């Protein structure tokens, strides 16, 4: 299980950094801090959600609950950051939230690839 989480985390880190660099370059200097904050937040969120999913992947009666729990965690994180950022930060709110949702979705697409990573035959 640790092997699958490590492979996912390393790949997610590379994908997150590459995407954040590209978005920062294309979006201009005004959104750079918001994009990098969203990238770090999404990476941390996704590694926790993927670890939770790995814990229940072999228990069919709990797998859907684990997946739904991860989705609730993602929605709550986006809502919580939206609430916090709208009141206490000077970062551009649209760039912060759109990049967060984009990073979470991008990293969510990687999960099926690594869910059974350590169970594959070499």
CB 27 within 8 A of CB 35: yes
For residue 21, what are the domain limits? Answer: 2-119
**For 115, which DSSP code?**
T
Distance (Å, whole) CA 94 – CA 69: 26
pLDDT by residue (tens digit) across 22-62? 998 888 778 889 999 999 999 999 999 999 888 888 888 88
Distance (Å, whole) CA 102 – CA 38: 9
Higher pLDDT, 110 or 119: 110
Going by C-beta distance under 8 Å and a sequence separation of 6 or more, which residues neighbour residue 31? Answer: 23, 24, 92, 95, 99
Distance (Å, whole) CA 26 – CA 31: 10
- pTM higher than 0.75, yes or no? yes
User: What is the number of structural domains in the chain?
Assistant: 1
pLDDT by residue (tens digit) across 52-87? 888 888 888 888 888 888 889 999 999 999 998 888
């Amino acid at each position: 299980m640790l092997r699958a989480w490590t492979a996912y985390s390393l790949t997610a880190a590379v994908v997150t950094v590459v995407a954040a660099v590209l978005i920062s370059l294309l979006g201009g200097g005004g959104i750079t801090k918001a994009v990098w904050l969203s990238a770090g937040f999404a990476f941390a969120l996704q590694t926790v959600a993927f670890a939770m999913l790995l814990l229940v992947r072999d228990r069919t009666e709990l797998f859907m609950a684990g997946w739904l729990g991860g989705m609730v965690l993602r929605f709550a994180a986006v809502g919580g950051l939206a609430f916090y950022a709208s009141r206490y930060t000077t970062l551009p709110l649209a760039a912060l939230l759109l990049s967060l949702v984009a990073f979470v979705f991008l990293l969510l697409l990687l999960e099926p690839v690594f869910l059974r990573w350590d169970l594959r035959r070499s």
